């Protein structure tokens, strides 16, 4: 699952034309996405 999220972030960044340092920005985006995903999962379970 983590690999899919990373690939999705990389793809979306490429589509949007970001030319940033992947080692930092993708990790930050993945971290944010995973936090959002945890929130969505916890909301769905209620």
CA distances from 9 to 19, 30, 46 (A): 13, 7, 28
Q: Minimal CA–CA distance to 28: which of 11, 9, 8?
A: 9
Count the domains in the chain. 1
Q: Which domain holds residue 27?
A: 2-14+21-45
pLDDT at 17: 61
pLDDT at 2: 79
1-46 tens-digit pLDDT? 678 877 887 777 676 665 555 566 667 777 887 788 777 666 666 5
């Amino acid at each position: 699952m983590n690999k899919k999220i990373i690939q999705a972030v990389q793809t979306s960044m490429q589509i949007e034309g970001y030319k940033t340092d992947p080692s930092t920005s993708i990790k930050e985006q993945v971290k944010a996405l995973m936090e959002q995903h945890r929130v969505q999962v916890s909301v769905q379970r209620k």
